[in-house]
Chain A
Amino acid sequence: MRTADLLPLAVAVPLLGAVALVIGGRWLPRVATDALATVWAAMDVADLAWLWAGTGDGHSVSWLGGWYPRRGESVGIVLAGDRIGIGLALLTATLVLAVIVYSWRYFEEPPAQHAGTFPALILLFEAGMCGFALTGDLFDAFVFFELMGAVAYALTGYRIEDPRPVQGALIFGIVNSIGAYCSLLGIGLLYARTGELGLAQIGSALQTHRADALEVVAFVFVMTGLLVKAAVVPFHFWLPDAHSVAPTPVCMLLSGVMVELGVYGAARVYWTVFSGPHGIPHPHLRTAFVAAGVLTALVGAVMCWQQRHLKRMLAFSTVGHVGLFLAGMALLTPAGTAGVALYVAAHAGVKAALFGTTGVLLDRHGSVDEHGLHGRGRDLPLAGAMFTLGGLALAGLPPFGTALGKAVTEHAAEGRFPWLSAVFVVVSAATGGAVLRAAARIFGGAGPRPQEHYAGPETTGSGEEPEIRDPQRRIPAPMLAVPAILLCTSLAVGVLPALAGSLARAARQFTDRTAYAAAVQGHAIAPAAAVPDVGWSTEGVALALASTVLAALLAAAAIWGPALAWRGMGTARAALRAAGRSVVLPLRRLHSGHLGDYVSWLVVGVALLLLVMAA
């Protein structure tokens, strides 16, 4: 078997697994269903790990059904993976395996007659995400995008008997579908211009045309769907609503890897299709997307800090970090891409571990409200330790991979955007600080009990339906073991130089459109750029430590600040309150939970993007 044959298998294996589970789940006992799902998820991890090893620093290309190109032309569909795409698929598969193990005993009773539904949906979700990461065809990307979207809506509304999940899933579904149809309009325009659907083929056909309005419009439309998936401001409104209501294991996948796939898709499409000589110029794209990334990061950080609903807090922290990923990718350098790849890998482990620990709280206490849970987590020392460690890792504590990825990206930005380091530090400190604050209050009972009432709009997170209904039982071992292992993988990303090195070489491949096009046509060439340096640097460690310390200080100030009675405190408090009224309150009001508002923001976003890209 050739290495390239593993590419279609990465999509086919979970699809077949989903079918087997739906059929087998009807008469197999629950233990057997769970075992079957685990074996299937492990098979896909093995397939992708083999593919990762076999592909090396080049590309694996597979023309489906043997429809090879003839004389440079083809109507076939191609799967093309380099180590960035395969690595992302491998990350997806690993996280899916973790989620399936985590949810062994998570739901009390699966629906009668349909014991295999949940793991089957998870495997379908995996098929969509892996396919999206590995495809080399724009229309195929749309189909996989819709597959993972539709499964994600269903998974979000999985607890169909509760009021909130169905509402969050509906908003999630409508907003994402509009984005997807925008993308399809863009794909239609690109096909009208070039007569091609493959990424590399469209890219080379566009080279012969001079850039005009049609190309810009097509670019904006295609990007819209991807940016909606990536939850970039102002397309991000669906994300916190979906994450605060989805079952915890699903949140681990949504936040850990699905949102990041949006950023990956945007970068892949830009590099392969639009980065050519007559495409969208690099400086233009860099300015626009770095700005969008920074805005997203800041909005995410501010909103994350304001939350008391733990899942919503983690959701906004994802918005913040995705902003950082987008800004790093938009630097359009191999170093920036390598940094983001490391950051994404490590962030997935940390974020999934945090959601997993939140699931333990929900299991014990039927609440994810930071205020209501004050001091009630004291009986869960292990979960508390992991939640705190997760908060520190989110803030960028060395030697976690998040710190390494952040440091490499900051270093890559130094030349053009020296101020970007400050944004990285502030955003990771605010998101990490919010988690540390919640950890100290819930697991340590620190500080006074926070005031109960907030005048503005807010989602509290109390009165959640516990997803499992027997508080007397022991916490299932996988629910604590899986977050611990995920934190360890995040640590491993930071301390294994071999992994960082291969991602650096992969980033060099990823940012070279000629190498990609040549690989799809069947003759590999080596990329021209130098391999970026991705080791730890003194400066990076210093910045990472700074953001960790800042996060701890922010958390301490939030917990004990109100009780202090210094002379300057009155003025400081008044200034904070004024800032809250003029900046934070309007921002929170924008997150109204109203479908019409979110759709309007989407249209505003498309219009803005059109204006900026046409300028």
Chain B
Amino acid sequence: MTILPFLAAGWIFLAGVHGMVTSRNAIHAVGCLAVAQSSTYVLLLAVGFRRGGTAPYFSDTSLRTRVVDPVVQALALTDVVVGATVTALLLGLAMQVRKRHGTVDPDALTGLKG
């Protein structure tokens, strides 16, 4: 197994975080959060990958077929569901911020401080 997928996952995560730090728009920030999260998909799928393996699905092949790890795929699927929920909720909040404050720029949203 090569180290490349792990580096790629780290890079995607950091790209998302960088986006959130420098974001000037709450919707953009939520998008960056989704980017950061997609690094977890890359990492999980890379962990379960086997060279020459096929989908872990035994209905039409023999039980000896070489397959990739099904556990991480279940994890990634759960992760997608969790991510979709959180992203939808946060986007809803961002919309509401726009309605109440008239802006989605984090630089202008500093009512809570000190």
Give residues in A with beta carbon < 8 Å to B. Answer: 75, 139, 143, 146, 149-150, 153-154, 157, 160-164, 166-171, 173-174, 177-178, 181, 184-185, 188-189, 191-192, 197, 240-241, 244-245, 306-307, 456-459, 588, 591-596, 599-600, 603
Could you pull out 10 A-B pairs where Cβ atoms are within 8 angstroms? A150-B89, A168-B112, A173-B93, A174-B30, A174-B33, A178-B33, A185-B9, A457-B114, A459-B111, A459-B114
* Nearest neighbor of A187 in chain B, beta-carbon distance: B75
B43 within 8 Å of A by Cβ?
Answer: yes
Given contacts A157-B93, A191-B47, contact A184 B40 (CB under 8 A): yes
Which residue of B39, B47, B114 is within 8 Å of A181 (Cβ)?
B39
Q: Which residues of B contact A591 (CB under 8 A)?
A: 113-114
Question: Do B113 and A245 touch (CB < 8 A)?
Answer: no
A185 nearest CB across to chain B (Å) = 6
Which residue of B22, B44, B72, B89 is within 8 Å of A596 (Cβ)?
B22
Alpha-carbon gap, A153 to B30, bound state (A): 14
Alpha-carbon gap, A565 to B3, bound state (A): 70
Given contacts A174-B20, A181-B37, A192-B47, contact A75 B109 (CB under 8 A): no
B68 within 8 Å of A by Cβ?
Answer: no
* Nearest neighbor of A149 in chain B, beta-carbon distance: B86
B15 nearest CB across to chain A (Å) = 13
Interface of B is mostly: helix
Question: Do B21 and A596 touch (CB < 8 A)?
Answer: yes
* Nearest neighbor of B106 in chain A, beta-carbon distance: A595
Alpha-carbon gap, A599 to B17, bound state (A): 7
A367 nearest CB across to chain B (Å) = 16
Question: Do A178 and B20 touch (CB < 8 A)?
Answer: yes
Contact with A along B77-114 (1 / 0, CB 8 A): 01100100110011001101100110000110111111
* Nearest neighbor of B111 in chain A, beta-carbon distance: A164
Alpha-carbon gap, A72 to B61, bound state (A): 28
Contact with A along B41-70 (1 / 0, CB 8 A): 001100100000000000000000000000
A28 nearest CB across to chain B (Å) = 26
Question: Do A596 and B20 touch (CB < 8 A)?
Answer: yes
Given contacts A163-B100, A594-B106, contact A245 B89 (CB under 8 A): no
Contact with A along B17-44 (1 / 0, CB 8 A): 1001111001001100100110110011
B8 within 8 Å of A by Cβ?
Answer: no
Which residue of A167, A173, A459, A595 is within 8 Å of B86 (Cβ)?
A173
Give residues in B with beta carbon < 8 Å to A. Answer: 9, 13, 17, 20-23, 26, 29-30, 33, 36-37, 39-40, 43-44, 47, 71-72, 75, 78-79, 82, 85-86, 89-90, 93-94, 96-97, 100-101, 106-107, 109-114
Q: Which residues of A contact B106 (CB under 8 A)?
A: 594-596
A583 nearest CB across to chain B (Å) = 14
* Nearest neighbor of B34 in chain A, beta-carbon distance: A177
B8 nearest CB across to chain A (Å) = 12
Alpha-carbon gap, A595 to B112, bound state (A): 11
Given contacts A143-B82, A150-B85, A191-B47, contact A164 B17 (CB under 8 A): no
Q: Which residues of A contact B100 (CB under 8 A)?
A: 161-163, 166
Alpha-carbon gap, A11 to B31, bound state (A): 32
Question: Do A150 and B79 touch (CB < 8 A)?
Answer: no
Alpha-carbon gap, A197 to B17, bound state (A): 27
Question: Do A154 and B9 touch (CB < 8 A)?
Answer: no
Given contacts A188-B44, A594-B106, contact A174 B78 (CB under 8 A): no
Question: Do B40 and A157 touch (CB < 8 A)?
Answer: no
Question: Do A459 and B97 touch (CB < 8 A)?
Answer: no
B60 nearest CB across to chain A (Å) = 23
Given contacts A174-B33, A178-B17, contact A146 B86 (CB under 8 A): yes
Question: Do B23 and A166 touch (CB < 8 A)?
Answer: no
Q: Which residues of B contact A173 (CB under 8 A)?
A: 86, 89-90, 93
Question: Do A150 and B86 touch (CB < 8 A)?
Answer: yes
Question: Do B111 and A167 touch (CB < 8 A)?
Answer: yes
Given contacts A166-B100, A596-B21, A603-B17, contact A458 B86 (CB under 8 A): no
Question: Do B111 and A593 touch (CB < 8 A)?
Answer: yes
Alpha-carbon gap, A160 to B39, bound state (A): 31
* Nearest neighbor of B9 in chain A, beta-carbon distance: A185
Sample of 15 further A-B pairs with CB below 8 A, known A163-B101, A600-B21: A75-B71, A139-B78, A157-B93, A161-B100, A166-B97, A171-B112, A178-B33, A197-B71, A456-B114, A458-B113, A459-B111, A593-B110, A595-B106, A596-B22, A603-B17
Question: Do A170 and B93 touch (CB < 8 A)?
Answer: yes
10 A-B pairs with least C-beta separation:
A163-B100, A457-B114, A458-B114, A593-B113, A593-B110, A457-B113, A192-B47, A593-B112, A595-B106, A166-B96
Q: Which residues of A contact B114 (CB under 8 A)?
A: 306-307, 456-459, 588, 591
